[in-house]
Amino acid sequence: MANEFRKQAENRSIDESCQPIIEAGLKQGIETAWERLEKQKPQCGFGQLGICCTNCDMGPCRIDPFGNDPQKGVCGATADTIVARNLIRMLATGAAAHSDHGREILEVLYEAATDKADAYTITDVEKLKALADEYGLATDGISTKDLAKALSLKILEEFGTIKGKLQFYERLPEKRKALLNKLGIAPRSVDREIVETMHRVHMGVDNDYINLLTHGLRTALSDGWGGSMMATEASDVLFGTPSPLSSQVNLAVLKQDQVNIILHGHNPILSEMIVNAAMDKDAVAKAKAMGATGINLAGMCCTGNELLMRRGVPIAGNMLNQELAIMSGAVEAMVVDYQCIFPAIVDVAGCFHTQVISTASKAKFPGATHMEFEPHSAVQTAAAIVDQAIENFPNRKKDRLCIPNNPADWTAGFSVEALLKALGGSTDPLLDAIKSGQIRGAVGIVGCNNPKVKHDFAHVRIMERLIADNVLVVGTGCAMIAAGKAGLMMPESAEKAGPGLKAVCQALGIPPVLHMGSCVDCSRILVLVAALAKALDVDISDLPVLGSAPEWYSEKAVSIGSYFVASGVTVHLGLSPRILGSKAVTSLLTQGLESVVKASFFVETDPDKAADAMIEKIDQKRKALGI
């Protein structure tokens, strides 16, 4: 039986740091996402094909996928309408999640500028001035705080602006802007596009699948070149623009002799304060008095990525590691903000001493302790959270500890600014390497874990294949945490790259897989590809670059994939979206879009075949560019 459990653990994940914990959980009968997925099987076929509609109370309605009756919902909606509506509803939820996060960061920037949130300072004044300039604000003789106030208000206005355009959209190359303007899908404001999606999917509004999907692209653009980009830029102003640093990753970053606090979710606003609170000497002294040797912070998912990028805080794991971290028996507190947090962590925590502490008014977890975060009292809340974790240390059951050894080393912090600095101030060396063929192209690998895919396997396999073929990988989110755990993010990892890429990485002292941040930081990838296209005076769709989400699960990923495609980057998906119930929608998204936005989606579940297809597409782009 023990062997059986080990085999099961190895089948679930390639992350060696979590396999012993999965095995221990199986022995103890602790339910995790993998068990819950099994219990859901067979998952509803109508749902998987996207042909179940619950949009109104005449339904729910289902379309027969074999062409028999019924072929229409009670209202008359066809499979094409239902599939397109369901997809853009998902997309809008993802765009809303990113953008609402962005709005909150901007509100804290405003409060910091108006002395309502003293704990926050403006760290990157240079970026503040550059952004103010971009927004047409006078900067001479204006104090930093006044500038931050004016800028945050100006950007916040764009959530509901009536001027009909977003400033960051101007960052697109002229050719792309002209195309999007011609198609009529330039985003008009952030909230407007999301609200309009919700309007269009109501019964009896937009029933034309092409019209629905076209607006889906506009909504996604309002996320990529709007809400997400605002979140990235405002976070940089507040907490600093990332630059390369070293840290560690995987569940072995948890410490046997210290109070372990995990910071999980997406928003850095409170967690940055917890990083400070954990360094407080009274808190450390109290931890020691409680029998620990100190306080250890570890990130999880994108709150982790935010803290890693700017503060070098180690990361315990990505999305499928969240329950496993608690099952190490070594976590005193898991502090959560929002997005990608399993409700089930409260149940798993119930089997151990871990306290789940929720902090966002909009994300409460029944069974968790709620300690609400407000910017004006951030320092006190952070201190109280750290104190609660310290108090919980004596409750740890030593005989249930299962902390793996050997954390992996990694480097992160590759903002566009840091990359340009490494390149000597311009994109030219990168473009020269691409033109000469030393670097064949680049792929942005982003997104999540999904228990339908062996944890981290698709991410890592695709990355290994691409770098071996001289394709530079950049990325964000849980994909990058997978890469770090697999040892692909050290300068020495260049050894795993093909000769051209290896030489470039060694010359610059960078790894072949570059961590650019959290989910909202996919906007950094947009800025990078826009800069490359502008330097070559081509459209983004002409570049030998692709996007890939090998293990995606979230609605945010639907929005990210769509804004990449709308920006001209073809995107690989490792799992099919729920669109196969409509041939028309499937064909539009996987082929038809090429003639509209010069990019499209393709689905390939086999990581090797996906890597082959990406390399082929990169070579086609190179040929078309004449390089």
Q: Decide: 472 and 422 in contact? Cβ < 8 Å.
A: no
Q: What is the rounded distance in angstroms from the CA atom of residue 31 to the CA atom of residue 323? A: 9
Where b means 16+ CB within 10 Å and e means fewer, 33-68 reads bbeeeeeeeeeeebeebbbbbebeeebebbbebeee
Q: Which does 75 bind (CB under 5 to 8 A by kind): ligand SF4, ligand MSK, none?
A: ligand SF4
Angle subtended at Cα 383 by Cα 392 and Cα 243, rounded to the nearest 5 degrees: 110
Structure tokens at 417: 């600014």
Q: Which residues, 6+ apart, have CB-to-CB distance to 143 below 8 Å?
A: none
Residue closer to ligand SF4 (CB basis): 88 or 445: 88
Q: What is the rounded distance in angstroms from the CA atom of residue 582 to the CA atom of residue 604? A: 18
Structure tokens at 445: 């690998």
Residue closer to ligand SF4 (CB basis): 59 or 294: 59
- Residue 522 assigned ligand-binding role: no
The pair phi, psi for residue 411, each rounded to 5°, is -120, 150
Q: Exposed, middle or buried, 366 (CB in 10 Å: 0-12/13-18/19+)?
A: exposed
Q: How far is the CB of 526 from ligand MSK (least distance, A)?
A: 16
Q: Which does 447 bind (CB under 5 to 8 A by kind): ligand MSK, ligand SF4, none?
A: ligand MSK
Size of the site for ligand SF4 (CB under 6 A): 14
Q: Decide: 124 and 88 in contact? Cβ < 8 Å.
A: no
- Residue 519 assigned ligand-binding role: yes
Q: How far is the CB of 213 from ligand SF4 (least distance, A)?
A: 17
Query: 586-595: which pairs have CB atoms within 8 A and are 24 or more residues apart?
Result: 588/209, 588/210, 588/213, 589/213, 593/565
Residue closer to ligand MSK (CB basis): 339 or 493: 339
Residue closer to ligand SF4 (CB basis): 56 or 344: 56
Q: Decide: 262 and 331 in contact? Cβ < 8 Å.
A: yes
Residue closer to ligand SF4 (CB basis): 79 or 122: 79
Using rule CB under 6 A, residue 59 touches ligand SF4: yes
Q: What is the rounded distance in angstroms from the CA atom of residue 554 to the CA atom of residue 570? A: 19
Which residue intervals of 266-377 are DSSP H helices? Answer: 268-277, 281-289, 301-311, 322-327, 345-350
Question: Residue type at 390?
Answer: I
Using rule CB under 6 A, residue 344 touches ligand SF4: no
User: For residue 425, how far is the Cα from the chain centroid?
Assistant: 27
Which residue intervals of 351-476 are DSSP H helices? Answer: 378-392, 416-422, 428-436, 457-468
Using rule CB under 6 A, residue 53 touches ligand SF4: yes
Structure tokens at 239: 């907490």
Which among 73-81, 244-252, 545-553, 619-627 is the span making contact with ligand SF4, rule CB under 6 A? Answer: 73-81
Q: Which does 448 bind (CB under 5 to 8 A by kind): ligand MSK, ligand SF4, none?
A: ligand MSK
Which among 67-75, 133-141, 414-422, 509-517 is the span making contact with ligand SF4, rule CB under 6 A? Answer: 67-75
DSSP assigned state of 360: B
Q: Which does 331 bind (CB under 5 to 8 A by kind): ligand SF4, ligand MSK, none?
A: none
Q: How far is the CB of 300 from ligand MSK (least distance, A)?
A: 8
Report 196-235 residues binding ligand SF4 (CB under 6 A): 203
Question: Residue type at 184?
Answer: G
Residue closer to ligand MSK (CB basis): 329 or 477: 477
Q: How far is the CB of 185 from ligand SF4 (least distance, A)?
A: 25
Residue closer to ligand MSK (CB basis): 455 or 556: 556
Per CB under 6 A, the list member of 21, 33, 77, 295 interacting with ligand SF4 is 77
- Residue 301 assigned ligand-binding role: no
Residues at the contact surface with ligand MSK, assessed by CB under 6 A = 266, 301-302, 318-319, 339-340, 447-448, 477-478, 518-519, 554, 556
Residue closer to ligand MSK (CB basis): 169 or 563: 563
Structure tokens at 46: 């109508």
At residue 355, the 3 state secondary structure works out as strand
Q: Which does 74 bind (CB under 5 to 8 A by kind): ligand MSK, ligand SF4, none?
A: ligand SF4
Q: How far is the CB of 79 from ligand SF4 (least distance, A)?
A: 10
Residues annotated in the binding site, as ranges? 44, 52-53, 56, 61, 75, 266, 302, 340, 448, 478, 519
Residues annotated in the binding site for [4Fe-4S] cluster, as ranges? 44, 52-53, 56, 61, 75
Q: Which residues bind ligand SF4 (CB under 6 A)?
A: 53-56, 58-61, 73-75, 77, 82, 203
